[in-house]
Amino acid sequence: MSSTRSPIRAGLGQSLDVYYRDAARTRRMDRLNAVFVRPGDMVFDIGAHLGDRTASFLRLGASVVALEPQPRVFRTLRLLHGRAPGAVLLPWAAGAETGEVTLHLNTRNPTVATVAKDFIAAADGAPGWQDQVWDDSVTVPVTTLDALIASHGAPQFIKIDVEGHEADVLRGLGTAVPALSFEFTTIQRAAAHACIDLLTGLGRYEFNLSLGEEHALRHHSWLPPEALRAALEALPDAANSGDVYARRV
């Protein structure tokens, strides 16, 4: 236990610096989220980590159901937002079916914990990912988006950031929602294409992109599915990661 405590604390401290101590980033994030979220809306934050997006949604006047399955990260999330009116915090993962799953932990970088073995394989030796090591694991409960809707009501927006597991989360959604975002990485572009397939199977959507920590939509006009696919494929590997935004039309 003592051999992993210090790296975990260091990783959480770094996350707090990135997500809570950069005022310009916070303003950008709030401006972007305000495109999709209005006061009184319900939002699901899937893969909340330390809850910087949860905090943004709450500032915008939304109610939030936030899922974070990492036990130590969840404890910090609860300290930060556990008393916030309108916030429901759950120590669960989301997936295609309810049950349990193995969560692979990166004790030095808790932002990239994942249940997706394909994600870990894709990161192995990839530029920018060489120092990432998943050195621990824990079994966590899994719910589905449909189950969350049944318990908490239909969301106006869903944010999904689960390190290569996004498509499985979307497989647990049976009806189209007004808007959502999902993370993508350039080491796993096929995973993003799978998410596009799942969304277009639920309804008509148009798409946009935000890269890294820009928190700004890159395209003035929203893109149809095939144009988004082309935009994702055209990104250089150095773009690394970002979020796809989808809105129902």
Say whether 48 sits in a helix, a strand or coil. Answer: coil
Does the structure show a pLDDT above 90 at 174?
A: yes
- C-beta of residue 92 within 8 angstroms of C-beta of residue 69: yes
For residue 110, the 8-state DSSP code is G
């932002």: which residue's tokens? 111
Whether 17 shows a pLDDT value over 70: the answer reads: no
Domain count, the chain: 1
Read off the pLDDT of residues 205-214 as tens digits, 9 standing for 90 and up. Answer: 999 999 999 9
Residue 32's identity, in one-letter code, is L
**Confidence band, pLDDT 50/70/90 cuts, at residue 2:** very low
Query: Cα-flanking dihedrals φ and ψ of residue 13, to 5°?
Result: -65, -40
- pLDDT score for 21: 79
Give the N- to C-terminal CA distance of the chain in Å, as an integer. Answer: 50
What secondary structure letter does DSSP report for 97? S
Question: Rounded CA gap, 180 and 37, in Å?
Answer: 10
pLDDT of residue 25: 96
Alpha helices in 84-188 (DSSP H): 117-123, 145-152, 166-170
Burial of 240 (0-12, 13-18, 19+ CB in 10 A): middle
Domain that holds residue 17: 2-248
Please, what is the angle between helix 2-20 and helix 52-59, to 10°? Answer: 30
* Confidence tier at 4 by pLDDT (50, 70, 90): very low
CATH number (domain holding residue 183): 3.40.50.150
**Of 146, 181, 208, 240, which is closest to residue 57 (Cα–Cα)?**
181
Residue 93: strand, helix, or coil:
strand
- Closest alpha carbon to 23 in 46, 56, 60, 61: 56
Q: Is the pLDDT of residue 246 over 60?
A: yes
Q: Model confidence over 40-80: pLDDT tens digits?
A: 999 999 999 999 999 999 999 999 999 999 999 999 999 99
Q: DSSP secondary-structure letter at 114? A: B
**Average pLDDT value for residue range 164-187:** 98
Answer yes or no: is pLDDT of 179 > 90: yes
Choose among 104, 112, 96: nearest CA to 47. 112
Q: What is the mean pLDDT of residues 154-180?
A: 98
Q: Is the pLDDT of residue 178 over 50?
A: yes
Task: Please state, in angstroms and as integers, the Cα–Cα distance from residue 209 to each residue in 60, 218, 223, 225, 249, following that order.
Answer: 21, 6, 9, 12, 17
198-238 pLDDT, tens digit per residue, is: 999 999 999 999 999 999 999 999 999 999 999 999 999 99
Q: How confident is the model at residue 20 (pLDDT cuts 50, 70, 90)?
A: confident
Q: Which pLDDT tens digit goes with each residue over 101-159?
A: 999 999 999 999 999 999 999 999 999 899 999 999 999 999 999 999 999 999 999 99
Q: Are 184 and 192 in contact (CB under 8 A)?
A: yes
